[in-house]
Structure 1
Amino acid sequence: MLGAIVSGHIADTIGRKGALVVAAVPNIIGWIVITLAQSRNASLLYLGRLLTEFGVGVISFTVPIYIAEIAPKHLRGSLGTVTQLSVSIGILLAYLFGLFLHWRSLAIAGLVPCALLIIGLFFIPESPRWLAKKKSPLYEDSLQSLRGSDADICFEAVEIKSVVETNNQQTSVKLSELRERRYALPLTIGIGLLLLQQLGGVNGIMFYSSSIFKSAGISSANAASVGLACIQVIMTAITAWLMDKTGRRILLIISSGGMTICLLLVGLAFYLKNQLSGDSAMQTFFSALALTSLLVYIISFSIGIGPIPWIIISEILPVNVKGLGGSVANLTNWLSSWIVTMTINMLLEWSSAGTFLLYAFISALTLAFVALRVPESKGRTLEEIEASFR
Structure 2
Amino acid sequence: MSFREENEEGRDIRKPFLHTGSWYRMGSRQSSMMDKLGSSAQVLRDNSVSVVFCVLVVALGPIQYGFTGGYSSPTEADIINDLALSISEFSIFGSLSNVGAMVGAIASGQLAEYIGRKGSLMIASIPNIIGWLAISFAHDSSFLYMGRLLEGFGVGVISYTVPVYIAEIAPQNMRGGLGSVNQLSVTIGILLAYLLGLFVHWRILAVLGILPCTILIPGLFFVPESPRWLAKMGMMDDFEASLQVLRGFDTDISIEVNEIKRSVASTSRRTTIRFSDLKRRRYWFPLMIGIGLLVLQQASGINGVLFYSTTIFEAAGISSSNVATCGLGAIQVIATGVTTWLADKAGRRLLLIISSSGMTASLLLVSVSFYLKDIFSEDSHLYSLMGILSLVGIVTFVIAFSLGIGPIPWVIMSEIMPVNIKSLAGSVATLFNWLTAWLITMTANLLLNWSSGGTFTLYTVLSAFTVVFVALWVPETKGRTLEEIQWSFR
TM superposition score category, shorter chain reference: over 0.9
Q: Is residue 28 of structure 2 the alignment partner of residue 28 of structure 1?
A: no
SS of residue in 2 equivalent to 1:140: helix
TM-superposed CA distance for 1:387, in Å, is: 0.5
**Which structure has the larger Rg?**
2
Q: Is residue 114 of structure 2 the alignment partner of residue 13 of structure 1?
A: yes
Letter in 2 for 1:44: F
Q: Is residue 334 of structure 2 the alignment partner of residue 261 of structure 1?
A: no
Letter in 2 for 1:86: S
SS of residue in 2 equivalent to 1:145: helix
Give the one of 152, 160, 163 matched to 2:260.
160
Gaps of 5+ in 2: 1-101
SS of residue in 1 equivalent to 2:343: helix
Match of 1:366 in 2: 466
Match of 2:189 in 1: 90
1:216-273 deviation digits (Å, cap 9, x = unpaired): 5543322221111111000100110000001001100000000000000001111111
Q: Is residue 169 of structure 2 the alignment partner of residue 70 of structure 1?
A: yes
Q: Is residue 441 of structure 2 the alignment partner of residue 335 of structure 1?
A: no
Q: Is residue 229 of structure 2 the alignment partner of residue 124 of structure 1?
A: no
Letter in 1 for 2:126: V
Using the alignment, how far apart are the partners of 2:152 and 2:270 within structure 1?
33
Give the one of 43, 58, 68 matched to 2:142.
43
Give the one of 354, 357, 366 matched to 2:457.
357
TM-superposed CA distance for 1:79, in Å, is: 0.2
SS of residue in 1 equivalent to 2:404: coil
Structure 2 contact 309–394 (Cα < 8 Å) conserved = no
1:131-186 deviation digits (Å, cap 9, x = unpaired): 00010020000000100111110100111011111233981211011011000000
* Higher percent of residues as helix: 1
Using the alignment, how far apart are the partners of 2:488 and 2:463 within structure 1?
28
1:318-343 deviation digits (Å, cap 9, x = unpaired): 00000000000000000000000001
Using the alignment, how far apart are the partners of 1:115 and 1:363 within structure 2?
38
Q: With structure 2 as the length reference, what TM-score do the two structures score?
A: 0.78
SS of residue in 2 equivalent to 1:319: coil
Match of 2:151 in 1: 52
Instruction: Answer with 362-371 or 278-287: which moved more.
Output: 278-287
Structure 1 contact 205–212 (Cα < 8 Å) conserved = no
TM-superposed CA distance for 1:279, in Å, is: 4.7
Using the alignment, how far apart are the partners of 1:378 and 1:314 within structure 2?
13
Using the alignment, how far apart are the partners of 1:168 and 1:34 within structure 2?
43
1:338-364 deviation digits (Å, cap 9, x = unpaired): 000001011110011111111000000
TM-superposed CA distance for 1:213, in Å, is: 2.9
CA RMSD, Structure 1 to Structure 2 (Å)? 1.2
Using the alignment, how far apart are the partners of 2:416 and 2:241 within structure 1?
25
SS of residue in 1 equivalent to 2:392: helix
Using the alignment, how far apart are the partners of 2:234 and 2:307 within structure 1?
44
Q: Is residue 345 of structure 2 the alignment partner of residue 248 of structure 1?
A: no
Using the alignment, how far apart are the partners of 1:78 and 1:126 within structure 2?
20
Give the one of 477, 482, 489 matched to 1:377.
477
Structure 1 contact 216–270 (Cα < 8 Å) conserved = no
TM-superposed CA distance for 1:80, in Å, is: 0.2
Alignment of 1:95-174 (within 5 A): 95-136=194-235, 137-168=237-268, 171-174=271-274
Using the alignment, how far apart are the partners of 2:265 and 2:119 within structure 1?
23
Using the alignment, how far apart are the partners of 2:470 and 2:377 within structure 1?
39
Using the alignment, how far apart are the partners of 1:147 and 1:331 within structure 2?
33
Structure 1 contact 129–139 (Cα < 8 Å) conserved = yes
Using the alignment, how far apart are the partners of 2:270 and 2:116 within structure 1?
19
Give the one of 376, 383, 387 matched to 1:287.
387
Structure 1 contact 30–50 (Cα < 8 Å) conserved = yes
1:298-336 deviation digits (Å, cap 9, x = unpaired): 110001000000000000000000000000000000000
Using the alignment, how far apart are the partners of 1:257 and 1:48 within structure 2?
38
Q: Taking CA–CA contacts closer than 8 Å with sequence separation of 6 or more, which of the two structures ends up with the larger relative contact order?
A: 1
Using the alignment, how far apart are the partners of 2:312 and 2:147 within structure 1?
28
Match of 2:409 in 1: 309
Using the alignment, how far apart are the partners of 1:205 and 1:364 within structure 2?
16
SS of residue in 1 equivalent to 2:107: helix
Q: How many residues in Structure 1 have an aligned counterpart in Structure 2?
A: 388
Give the one of 288, 292, 299 matched to 1:199.
299
Using the alignment, how far apart are the partners of 1:10 and 1:141 within structure 2?
23
Using the alignment, how far apart are the partners of 2:261 and 2:191 within structure 1?
41
With over 3 angstroms needed to count, the CA separation of the structure-2 counterparts of 1:169 and 1:56, relative to structure 1, is closer
Using the alignment, how far apart are the partners of 1:48 and 1:215 within structure 2?
34
Gaps of 5+ in 1: none
SS of residue in 1 equivalent to 2:252: coil
Using the alignment, how far apart are the partners of 1:102 and 1:283 within structure 2?
37
1:186-229 deviation digits (Å, cap 9, x = unpaired): 00000000000001100122234213433555433222211111
